[in-house]
Amino acid sequence: EAFASMRPQPGLTGTTKFDLPSCRIIHKSRRSSWRLWAMRRSSSNNDDDAKAERFANDARTDIRNLLTQRAIQSFMFLLTQVRDPHSCKWIEEFLSTSGMLEFHGTGAGWLQRFGGTWDAPLLKMMQQPKDVVIVSAKRRGRGHGGWSKDNPYLEERFVEFEIDIDPVSLSSRIVSVREQIAKEWVHDLTIVMDANDQILESYFSRVKNEEANDVAFERTAVNILNNHTGFQEEASSPFRKGNFDLMYNLCTQASIHRVLRQYQDSAQRNEVAFTWLRDFYIDRVAEYFDGDQRYGRADDFIEELLLTPPSVSINKRSGKVEGLADPLGSAEKIITMRNEVAQEWQAMMENVPQDHTGLRKALLEIQMKAWGSGGLGGATSGGDNEQSSQQDESVSGGSTDDGGFQ
């Protein structure tokens, strides 16, 4: 059984000792500590501040960061499937976070702490020295040899055993999972574009037929994904649907950022459209994009935007009418931009194996140094090499159902 409540205790040099009073892992739910740097209501006069904010926005909506996050989360799930919660706990301790398997959102806080670049956590992980986790587990019953097991006057008995943690091995396997998810996203981004093309058609059809106005359009993205994955030859990664939902959500958010910049930077600056969409977006960031989210929030945002009626923008100081805010026009621009973002991301996902060249070179250099010093003689994380093989083989063995990963 998986162990829980691992609390660091003083142990030997280079080791970490945990007490395990119970036999299951309890993950606390959390919200992302990385708050979104949205387009600010007050523009900054400092160019350096503006550049820093733009970098933060770009990092927040970088598909490569989300790919790293989901690769680590998927790998942790695979570790739990082969009964290796100790490596999961070590990864969470290394990332200074908790509740990774319950977090369904983009922009995890630990990415910012590593500088906001997709490869920084993996490079840092592979540079960590080997560790040993000393696990203390309570034996069943208080008696000895089957006698007096229910005697309350006998002390409880514990057994300790060591678990070797090899960060280089963990990093290498996370990179493999990352490549598989990237390969899936090359296919899934085509689904995003196919579903995207149907939104406005569905919306105008419902308006023309005077259908219920509480639903703006028919949502087809998940159905298309189910149809495609049902007939593919290769097995999907464990969180295929969850990965798709978060990628779709981030694609929508990145599209909003780009449309806002178009409004702001265009030669014919559309101040009314920029101000209205910026305020509409910032007021809903926490609801639709930030922190732990439920499924379908990208379509929820577009639907609310399409159902919002046009409004007149009035200058608060002069009281004069500045123009007409057109939510439908902004929605059309975001939907069109989402196709452009999806095409750009598709090319990036195709290049992921090439992006990993530097990582694999660094891994090989570290392994060669360890071999030269005789440092790779120990077991990998989880106790033995056989378990590592099981974990690698199980990368493609999960179902497309996310189970309890919410």
| Rounded Cα distance, 28 and 109, in Å | 15
Let me know if 275 is exposed, middle or buried by CB neighbors in 10 A (0-12, 13-18, 19+): middle
pLDDT reported for residue 391:
42
Which ranges constitute the DSSP H helices of 209-350?
221-229, 240-265, 271-282, 285-288, 297-307, 327-350
pLDDT reported for residue 315:
72
Q: What is the C-alpha R_g of the chain?
A: 25
pLDDT reported for residue 237:
83
Tokens of 388: 């590592």
| C-alpha 142, offset from chain centre | 44
Residues in the chain where the model's pLDDT stays below 50: 1-44, 376-406
| C-alpha 85, offset from chain centre | 20
Taking phi over 0 as left and psi of -120 to 50 as alpha, with beta for the rest, 148 belongs to left
Let me know how long the chain is. 406
- Most distant CA atoms of the chain, gap in Å: 90
Tokens of 171: 């990093």
pLDDT reported for residue 231:
54
pLDDT reported for residue 404:
35
* Mean of the per-residue pLDDT values of the chain: 78
CA distances (Å), origin 16, targets 33, 159, 171, 308, 384: 27, 16, 20, 55, 18
pLDDT reported for residue 56:
75
pLDDT reported for residue 400:
39
CA distances (Å), origin 11, targets 16, 18, 69, 266, 379: 6, 9, 31, 61, 20
- Cβ atoms within 10 Å, residue 309: 7
**Closest by CA position to 136, among listed 226, 235, 232, 9:** 9
Domain boundaries, the chain: 31-38+46-130+166-396
| C-alpha 115, offset from chain centre | 16
pLDDT reported for residue 374:
61
pLDDT reported for residue 332:
94
**pTM: predicted TM-score of the whole model, two decimal places:** 0.76
